[in-house]
Amino acid sequence: MRIVELTEESRKDILENLLKRSPNNYTEFEGRVNAIIEKVRSDRDEAVFSYTKQFDGADINASNVLVTEEEIKEAYEQVDQTLLEVIRKALVNIRKYHEKQRQQSWFTSEDGIILGQKVTALEKVGVYVPGGKAVYPSSVLMNVLPAKVAGVDRIIMCTPPGKDGKVYASTLVAAKEAGVDEIYKVGGAQAIAAMAFGTESIPKVDKIVGPGNIYVALAKKAVFGYVSIDSIAGPSEILVLADETANPRYVAADLLSQAEHDEMASAILITTSEELAKKVSDEIDGFVEELSRKEIIQKSLDNYGYILVASDLDEAIDAVNEIASEHMEIVTKDPFHVMTKIRNAGAIFIGEYSSEPLGDYFAGPNHVLPTNGTAKFFSALSVDDFIKKSSIISYSRDALEPVYKDIVKFAECEKLTAHANSIKVRFEK
Amino acid sequence: MRIVELTEESRKDILENLLKRSPNNYTEFEGRVNAIIEKVRSDRDEAVFSYTKQFDGADINASNVLVTEEEIKEAYEQVDQTLLEVIRKALVNIRKYHEKQRQQSWFTSEDGIILGQKVTALEKVGVYVPGGKAVYPSSVLMNVLPAKVAGVDRIIMCTPPGKDGKVYASTLVAAKEAGVDEIYKVGGAQAIAAMAFGTESIPKVDKIVGPGNIYVALAKKAVFGYVSIDSIAGPSEILVLADETANPRYVAADLLSQAEHDEMASAILITTSEELAKKVSDEIDGFVEELSRKEIIQKSLDNYGYILVASDLDEAIDAVNEIASEHMEIVTKDPFHVMTKIRNAGAIFIGEYSSEPLGDYFAGPNHVLPTNGTAKFFSALSVDDFIKKSSIISYSRDALEPVYKDIVKFAECEKLTAHANSIKVRFEK
């Protein structure tokens, strides 16, 4: 793995290289995606089923688009029983963590004035689950459980069928365990459009979440505003901040755990120790040979993998905050104090036993995290994503009277006389 | 004002009519907006200044784009001193309300496991303030103060200059009072692009908020993902839910206060009392004649104004939740109990002295609210918009050991062997 000195210039080059991976750059597919959306919006079910035939090769229609209880029962029989046990253990941890995120309605009251915020769960949410190359039941849990904990009334799921019209058993089992209400055998941009506008078979939802390929990502961006969406996910990332106290074998293994996701994934070590840099590089060479996804890993490391050597910890931390990685590990002396200086990261893993995959599957925090530097302004998927807040405002006559002239004045300065009138009318003789 | 019986069908027609106003429908301007964005992204300052010449007729360059202390001083001299006093009073209320929205970092700790969320303010925020037809210092306060309360380091503002290269005095004064750090004389899609990508003169920000015309709205949607944005605002709306106890004169005045905003604004009364319906309609006719923005009001009422008569309160409340209005007033018996059944509304004004303009200017809650039915999934602008949360995960060796095999199992089921490896390596002999 390449070892680079951390300088103003190398930092700039690396940031530019990383941002190339943004789904925002794939505007060449926008035309095709918009055409699919328009077609689904006008022809509804007919368009959805026709695209499903075209893209997934499956014969889906109004009578078989909804996964049946029978199919779910079959899935439970097919699924690896040990996996089912692990899913159930993970589910307990994920639910427990997300329950801590619940927000309360609140109000203040003084002298005839009540102000506050009323928290309400969204009514209908759609979760997209990709089919294709890899099946990730963990992703089902992470997308569904925050909505469930928030108190969403109805959670539907769309996922593409195979040619045989079936959905993966582990997806169905994870969905059922997490509490999905209905599962539809539809994928791609057509699924996003169906959930955004509704069809005869598929209900319109208030928010769409879940990962997907570039078509799904662009479709989500296109329907944003008609419905809400989670943030648009790019390829996965890990950034390890380590000093000379770190175990190079652990650091190497953790970097590889993200590199294996995808050729566009990024794995970066920033260290103050040149010795550690070399050892990690050697360990990586050793591991890569043994791993099943060797080719993906090699490409990802070549494209977006870096070992950066910083002259001191402050410089290293500056770079960490600039890169704003999806996953970030702190493997240094005093890691909790270092954490206080980390401003931008999706998830922060602290200490040498807090390996990133612990968070992917098990610990409880959500693995749907902001990528591509968006940790500067986005957060992990959470219960917050499935609630909204209504402002509460109530004044008594006695409370309004002493201030009503100020409000009238303000309205008149903005030349909004009907605004002024609505206050004045209440105090007319 | 038209009086319509509330039925399944009339509800459907009205909803369809209201949704026509969505900024999502103006895709015909997308090409022009995208061209402006691309030009600013590549040519930076040069493009920004050239568009400012073209669209605003002002000669702006690197030496005068930033509003000077001198210009702010002048603005303080020019501005209506009573307005300044009112701005200062409103500011106290707005700040106090938003301070209640602050969220804390939190963690749980048990047996070697620390989990939590670290709350961090965004670093740089850009506020857009429109020029043109109307000047709204209240809008400056509402957009800037939540960012300020959240603890954002640097708040910049962009607003279009007049032909003389000047910005409105009341905008400058409100910006200064609210705590804006820098003000740039740039407007339109070019301002949004400049804040999203940065130019020589204008810094790249993490999030862009603030209202604007259709070009601004589409530009914000286009840069979403590169930066965060607030929700895309459509025309203003009020929905009054009233029974026979309501004062028709107050209800009429409140409906008009939103109708005056814009020809696309919507004012709706839903009532269980046919008598009230008629009286409100009469009062409206009386008021309209006296109001300065009469023509706008008349068009807005003709296009998007309705008085709906419901057969009972439950039916009325269902329609309220379906329409999901930006502003909603409850003027009924037991208005607080009625509030408990309101699921979708940007802001809820309770009782007959809680007139909507009270919230626009003064009470404290934010007047930047979700429009066009998006109150089903979006909230008022708040401190939440200017923070993000990083997940915190830390396991000790003792905590990881009893569960590590479960995590390995889960990773192996998802065929991610490097994930499994990163856990296993910590327990190898």
Q: Render pLDDT for A415-427 as a digit per residue (tens, 0 to 9).
A: 889 999 999 999 9
Model confidence over B172-201: pLDDT tens digits?
A: 999 999 999 999 999 999 999 999 999 999
- Cβ distance of B106 and A100 shorter than 8 Å: yes
| DSSP codes, B148-187 | HHHT-SEEEEE----TTS---HHHHHHHHHHT-SEEE---
- For the record, the structure tokens of A287 come out as 């591991």
- Cβ distance of B414 and A382 shorter than 8 Å: no
Catalytic residue among A177, A260, A283, A326: A326
Q: What's the pLDDT score for residue A30?
A: 87
Q: How far apart are the first and last CA of chain B?
A: 82
Q: What's the pLDDT score for residue B27?
A: 74
Q: What's the pLDDT score for residue B361?
A: 85
Q: What's the pLDDT score for residue A21?
A: 85
Q: How confident is the prediction for chain A on average, in pLDDT?
A: 94
Has A182 been annotated as catalytic?
no
Partners of residue B421 in chain A, C-beta under 8 Å: 253, 256-257, 287, 290-291
Whether A260 shows a pLDDT value over 80: the answer reads: yes
DSSP bridge pairs for B267: B238, B305
Partners of residue A228 in chain B, C-beta under 8 Å: 374, 377-378
| pLDDT band at residue A26 under the 50/70/90 scheme | confident
Q: Does A257 touch chain B (CB under 8 A)?
A: yes
List, in order, residues 6 or more apart from B381 with CB less than 8 Å away: B142, B143, B146, B209, B230, B366, B368, B369
Which amino acid does the sequence have at B211? P
A261 in a known ligand binding site: yes
Number of Cβ atoms within 10 Å of the Cβ of A167: 25
Q: What's the pLDDT score for residue B134?
A: 62
Q: Does A298 touch chain B (CB under 8 A)?
A: no
Q: What's the pLDDT score for residue A28?
A: 82
Alpha carbon of A223: minimum distance to chain B alpha carbons (Å) = 9
A327 in a known ligand binding site: yes
- Cβ distance of A400 and B358 shorter than 8 Å: yes
Of A290, A348, A403, the CB nearest to B391: A348
Alpha carbon of A418: minimum distance to chain B alpha carbons (Å) = 5
Nearest CA in chain B to A119: B343
Q: Does B136 touch chain A (CB under 8 A)?
A: yes
Residue B207 to residue B382: CA distance in whole angstroms: 13
List, in order, residues 6 or more apart from A185 with CB less than 8 Å away: A52, A58, A60, A64, A65, A66, A67, A159, A160, A161, A165, A167
Residue B144 to residue B91: CA distance in whole angstroms: 10
Top residue of A394, A400, A428 to mutate, by most chain B CBs within 10 Å, is A394
Q: What's the pLDDT score for residue A313?
A: 97
Partners of residue A23 in chain B, C-beta under 8 Å: 225
Q: What's the pLDDT score for residue A46?
A: 98
DSSP letter assigned to residue A224: B
Top residue of A173, A410, A429 to mutate, by most chain B CBs within 10 Å, is A410
Residues 163-192 of B with CB under 8 A from A: 170
Domains present along chain B, CATH in parentheses:
3-22+234-364 (3.40.50.1980), 25-229 (3.40.50.1980), 397-427 (no CATH)
- Cβ distance of B393 and A358 shorter than 8 Å: yes
Over residues A341-362, the mean pLDDT reads: 95
- Cβ distance of A365 and B115 shorter than 8 Å: yes
Over residues A215-230, the mean pLDDT reads: 91
| Exposed / middle / buried, residue B9 (Cβ in 10 Å: 0-12, 13-18, 19+) | exposed
Model confidence over A83-142: pLDDT tens digits?
A: 899 999 999 999 999 999 999 999 999 999 999 999 999 999 999 999 866 678 899 999
Residues 358-417 of B with CB under 8 A from A: 358-366, 369-370, 374-380, 382, 384, 388-397, 399-400, 403, 406-407, 409-411, 413-417
- What are the residue ranges in chain B where pLDDT is below 70? 132-134
Of A250, A362, A365, the CB nearest to B407: A362
Has B327 been annotated as catalytic?
yes
Of B259, B350, B416, the CB nearest to A394: B350
| Exposed / middle / buried, residue B36 (Cβ in 10 Å: 0-12, 13-18, 19+) | buried
Of A254, A360, A426, the CB nearest to B353: A426
- Cβ distance of A254 and B297 shorter than 8 Å: no
Residues 50-79 of B with CB under 8 A from A: none
Known binding-site residues of B equal 128, 190, 213, 236, 258, 261, 327, 360, 414, 419
Nearest to B152, CA basis, from B125, B126, B176, B113 = B125
Partners of residue B415 in chain A, C-beta under 8 Å: 134, 292
Enter the ipTM. Answer: 0.94
Catalytic residue among B177, B326, B329, B356: B326
Phi-psi region of A324 (alpha: psi -120 to 50; beta: other; left: phi over 0): left
Model confidence over A168-213: pLDDT tens digits?
A: 999 999 999 999 999 999 999 999 999 999 999 999 999 999 998 8
Of A291, A364, A391, the CB nearest to B417: A291
Q: Does B296 touch chain A (CB under 8 A)?
A: no
